[in-house]
């Protein structure tokens, strides 16, 4: 079994109206009390009280995390892919396996032959199986949204939850069908799932995209009980979202719920392990990794430094605080999810929602953690195996722009500056109405993005300007100065605020809120109020030149550069000339190139 556990350095990064139901409190208490007596809780070993991070005393006993796994002694031990081992396609079937690749952008052919309830190696780090969790943990609904998911992986996802979750904690499994087109996902799926009372299928009549599909799932996350008098809905305490091509590992659920129980503002993620797309093997990933992002809001993983681990005495099984989550797999207190205003429902189809919810959680008082004792395998795919209603790239860009506008404050310029300047140009893209999101942020009294960077993600390089200070001209050996609304030159003097300029990520050359622009003749310069949506205010500051960017874009124009007059202190635009020192400029400080 051991040799099937390979180490991988990094996972592929994942880039690429809700109803309130009144809750019959008594019924909930009765049900939990009944479940608490179930034999599953026999491992109770200690009773005590713990203080959670908000100082609330949590009563109740503790027990060793349950190692429930009905697949451990599989009846078909010799089946393909059993124990998470790599499976091989026989040479005769290679063609078929290749042909079927695009059904899911992984080896669909192999996956089909692997038992839907296969065993996988217990990849939890040492200590996890001995950890104590609370007896009276909250219950959860597990929500899988899918569109045209492959049959075998959808089933394996569901079976892994059924087989490896303590039944008293698993209220239900919701399958939210986001308007799939495949026939097998209709009657055949209904028939198959009807054998599991806990599995419910919700069909969306039109394509919602994963973000709104999750919201539909969350709104439905309740368990209907038929009492003598009425249909009673029991709401689960926690929502657990999973992708529809995963395998939950042994003991995955309790460590997640335990953290939420400790503090309902903790939003927790399992370690996402790799189900190899080619041989469907289950691959363990390295420890000590946290979710981060790089500009322009690209998700990735980063390993904690040895120094950090040593200084903070972090053990392999300790929760890891993450600036952002990957997006697909997490548990969140149901009420807290709604208090936070869920996801921005204006986000479309796929992408960016993980950034949105991560910023929202941290900036509005919550926390995001990866729980190393909870492990779930996921098939990382090279391509999305479903159609985007609109252009894929445009969809993701638009989502990210919404997130940047609502959450990034002045730092949004850094986002736009990394390849998304065109999103600023009015008429390029309609990112929709943001009023409700901005109001929500106010209502929740969320902290600033600056606070988030300083406290949650200090490693991120996020200088607000690319360059700033004095703007020195190599030709006249003087510095640019702004006086009474006009630009000219003066002897360089650091102490003069009138000589301080900034070059921003959105390529404006500015002093406070005033920006340098070409004047009406297109040959001189003027000053006007900065406005990031105005393309003519952008200057390409490259190899010490300032190129008027909007003119480059216009096909027949020659390239124009900022030039200092050789006589007098004038400044104008002239054809770019590599040999002219009067077209060469330096800032005192450069923060980024
Ligand atoms: C990652 C996340 C994914 C989501 C995405 C960004 C993990 C493991 N996965 O990409 O959950 O956060 O980043 O948005 O962290 N789906 C629908 N309707 C759609 C599109 C997708 O229901 O219109 C389902 C899909 O069937 C799948 C889930 O949403 O179960 C996530 O989609 P994905 O697997 O294509 O995303 P992934 O893993 O590339
Ligand atoms: Mn996925």
CA of 243 to the centre of ligand 2 (A): 5
Q: Around Cβ 531, how many Cβ atoms within 10 Å? A: 14
Instruction: Examine residue 296 and say whether the peptide bond preceding it is cis (omega within 30 degrees of 0).
Output: yes
Provide the pLDDT confidence category of residue 461 given band limits of 50, 70 and 90.
very high
Decide: 476 and 582 in contact? Cβ < 8 Å.
yes
| Per-residue model confidence (pLDDT) at position 23 | 31
Q: Is 149 in the pocket of ligand 1 (CB under 6 A)?
A: yes
279: nearest Cα among 108, 91, 87: 87
CA of 378 to the centre of ligand 2 (A): 7
**Residue located nearest, by CA, to atom 1 of ligand 1:** 14
Q: What is the mean pLDDT of residues 181-209?
A: 97
In this prediction, residues 140-148 reach a mean pLDDT of 98
The proportion of the chain whose per-residue pLDDT surpasses 90, expressed as a percent, equals 80
Nearest to 169, CA basis, from 291, 264, 41, 342: 41
Closest CA to 409 of 376, 374, 451: 451
Assigned token pair, 176: 């939210």
The pLDDT of 509-514, averaged and rounded, is: 97
Mean residue pLDDT of the chain comes to: 89
Q: Which atom of ligand 1 is nearest to the CA of 148?
A: 26
CB atoms inside a 10 Å sphere around CB 337: 23
SS (H, E, C) 158-227: HHHHHHHCCCCCEEEEEEEECCCCCHHHCHHHHHHHCCCCCEEEEECCCCCHHHHHHHHHHHHCEEEEEC
Cα separation of 253 and 262, whole Å?
14
Q: Which ligand is closest to the CA of 350, given by its number?
A: 1
CB neighbour list of residue 542: distance below 8 Å, 6 or more residues apart: none
Report which protein residue has its CA nearest ligand 1's atom 34. Answer: 243
Nearest residue to 144 via CA among 231, 210, 235, 74: 210
CB of 277 closer than 6 A to ligand 1? no
Q: What is the pLDDT of residues 92-127, one digit of tens each?
A: 999 999 999 999 999 999 999 999 999 999 999 999
For the CA of 245, the nearest atom of ligand 1: 30
Distance CA 532, CA 210 (A): 31
Query: Span 293-322, mean pLDDT?
Result: 97
Span 515-528, mean pLDDT? 92
Which SS3 state, helix, strand or coil, does residue 408 take? Answer: coil
Q: What is the pLDDT of residue 58?
A: 63
- Give the ligand 1 atom nearest the CA of 241: 11
Query: What's the rounded mean pLDDT across residues 454-467?
Result: 98
Residue 71, pLDDT score:
80
For ligand 1, whether the C-beta of 269 sits within 6 Å is no
Does 337 contact ligand 1 (Cβ within 6 A)?
Answer: no
Kindly state the average pLDDT of the residues 461-480.
Answer: 98
284: closest CA among 273, 272, 270? Answer: 273
* Reported pTM: 0.90
**376 - beta bridge partners?**
248, 272
Question: CB of 343 closer than 6 A to ligand 1?
Answer: no
User: Residue range 71-89: average pLDDT?
Assistant: 92
Q: Which atom of ligand 1 is nearest to the CA of 325?
A: 15
Q: Is the CB of 209 under 6 A from ligand 1?
A: yes
Cα(247) to ligand 2 centroid in Å equals: 12
pLDDT one-digit tens code per residue, 264-279: 999 999 999 999 999 9
> Which residues are 266's β-sheet partners?
367
Q: Which residues contact 571 (CB under 8 A, 6 or more apart)?
A: 480, 487, 488, 489, 524, 525, 562, 563, 564, 565
CA dist 390 and 368 (Å) reads 31
How many Å from the N-terminal Cα to the C-terminal Cα in the chain?
Answer: 50
Q: For residue 569, how far is its CA from the centre of ligand 1 (angstroms)?
A: 58
Using CA atoms, how far residue 41 sits from 45, 60, 234, 539, in Å, is 10, 12, 22, 67
**How many angstroms separate the CA atoms of 574 and 144, rounded?**
60
Per DSSP, the three-state class of 266 is strand
pLDDT at 15: 33
**Inter-residue contact 72 to 269 (CB < 8 Å):** no
């Amino acid at each position: 079994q051991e040799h099937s556990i390979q180490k991988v350095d990094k996972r592929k990064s994942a880039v690429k109206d809700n109803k309130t139901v009144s809750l019959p409190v008594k019924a909930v208490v009765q049900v939990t009390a009944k479940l608490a007596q179930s034999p599953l809780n026999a491992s109770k070993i200690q009773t005590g009280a713990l203080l959670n991070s908000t100082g609330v005393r949590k009563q109740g006993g503790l027990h060793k995390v349950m190692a429930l796994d009905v697949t451990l002694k599989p009846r078909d031990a010799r089946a393909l892919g059993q124990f998470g081992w790599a499976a091989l396609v026989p040479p005769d079937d290679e063609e078929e396996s290749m042909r079927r690749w695009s059904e899911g952008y992984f080896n669909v052919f192999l996956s089909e032959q692997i038992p839907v309830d296969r065993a996988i190696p217990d990849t939890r780090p040492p200590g996890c199986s001995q950890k104590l969790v609370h007896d009276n943990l909250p219950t959860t609904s597990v929500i899988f949204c899918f569109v045209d998911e492959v049959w075998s992986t959808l089933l394996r996802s569901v079976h892994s939850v059924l087989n490896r979750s303590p039944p008293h904690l698993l209220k239900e499994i919701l399958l939210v069908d986001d308007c799939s087109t495949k026939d097998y996902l209709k009657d055949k799926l209904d028939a198959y799932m009807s054998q599991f009372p806990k599995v419910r299928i919700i069909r969306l009549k039109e394509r919602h995209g994963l973000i709104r599909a999750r919201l539909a799932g969350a709104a439905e996350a309740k368990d209907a009980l038929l009492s003598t008098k009425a249909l009673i809905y029991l709401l689960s305490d926690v929502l657990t979202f999973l992708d529809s091509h995963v395998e939950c590992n042994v003991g995955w659920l309790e460590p997640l719920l335990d953290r939420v129980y400790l503090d309902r503002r903790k939003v927790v993620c399992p370690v996402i392990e790799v189900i190899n797309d080619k041989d469907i093997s289950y691959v363990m990933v390295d420890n000590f990794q946290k979710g981060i992002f790089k500009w322009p809001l690209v998700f990735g993983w980063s390993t904690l430094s040895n120094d950090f681990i040593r200084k903070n005495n972090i053990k392999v099984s300790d929760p890891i605080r993450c600036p952002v989550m990957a997006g697909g797999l997490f548990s969140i207190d149901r009420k807290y999810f709604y208090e936070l205003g869920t996801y921005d429902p204006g986000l479309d189809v796929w992408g960016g929602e993980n950034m949105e919810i991560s910023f929202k959680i941290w900036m509005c008082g919550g926390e995001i953690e990866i729980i190393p004792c909870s492990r779930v395998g996921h098939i990382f795919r090279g391509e999305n195996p479903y159609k985007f209603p609109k252009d894929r790239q445009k969809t993701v860009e638009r989502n990210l722009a919404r997130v940047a506008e609502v959450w990034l404050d002045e730092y949004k310029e850094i986002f736009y500056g990394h390849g998304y300047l065109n999103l600023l140009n009015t008429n390029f893209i309609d990112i929709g109405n943001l009023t409700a999101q901005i109001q929500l942020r106010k209502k929740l009294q969320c902290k600033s993005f600056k606070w988030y960077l300083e406290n949650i993600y200090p490693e991120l390089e996020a200088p607000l300007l690319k360059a700033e200070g004095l703007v020195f001209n190599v030709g006249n050996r003087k510095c640019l100065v702004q006086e009474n609304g006009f630009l000219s030159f003066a002897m360089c003097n650091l102490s003069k605020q009138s000589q301080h300029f900034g070059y921003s990520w959105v390529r404006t050359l500015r002093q406070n809120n005033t920006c340098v622009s070409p004047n009406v003749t297109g040959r001189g310069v003027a000053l006007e109020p900065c406005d990031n949506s105005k393309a003519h205010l952008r200057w390409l500051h490259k190899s010490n030149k300032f190129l008027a960017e909007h003119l480059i874009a216009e096909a027949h124009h020659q390239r124009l550069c900022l030039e200092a007059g050789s006589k007098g202190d004038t400044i104008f635009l002239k054809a770019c000339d590599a040999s002219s020192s009067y077209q060469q400029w330096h800032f005192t400080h450069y923060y980024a190139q």
